[in-house]
Structure 1
């Protein structure tokens, strides 16, 4: 199960919109930073293919400016 954490940088003024969009995708936990215009995003998928599809959906969000991978880990099944 791939588990990855990212820093998601929204387009200026779009932090809430990005947070709502990410939560609606499922397989995501979103934690907003209190003092910065970023979101901490943790994804949890069952397979590498699901992870790739989810990442493509995230990167296609119009309110996302930059997605930076912080760490990734894959448990063997």
Structure 2
């Protein structure tokens, strides 16, 4: 099961929109920064196919400016 963590940067003024978009994705857990336009995102998927589907969903979010992975691992 791949577990990855990211720093997520929204487009200017679109943080709330990005939080809403990420919150509805089952494999995502978010922690918004209180004083910056930054969100910590942790994803957890069961299969490679599920991981690919998640990647496509994330790439389709228009309010997302930058997604920087900071950690990732896979457990059997």
Pick the TM interval, shorter chain: over 0.9
Q: Does 2:8 align with 1:8?
A: yes
Matches of 1:7 and 1:56 in 2, distance apart?
17
Shift of 1:60: 1.1
Q: Could you tell me the TM-score, scaled by structure 2's length? A: 0.95
Shift of 1:47: 0.7
Residue aligning to 1:71 = 71
Shift of 1:25: 1.4
Residue aligning to 2:41 = 41
Unaligned runs of 5+ in 2: none
- The alignment covers a number of residue pairs equal to 76
Shift of 1:45: 0.6
Shift of 1:3: 0.4
Matches of 1:70 and 1:56 in 2, distance apart?
19
Unaligned runs of 5+ in 1: none
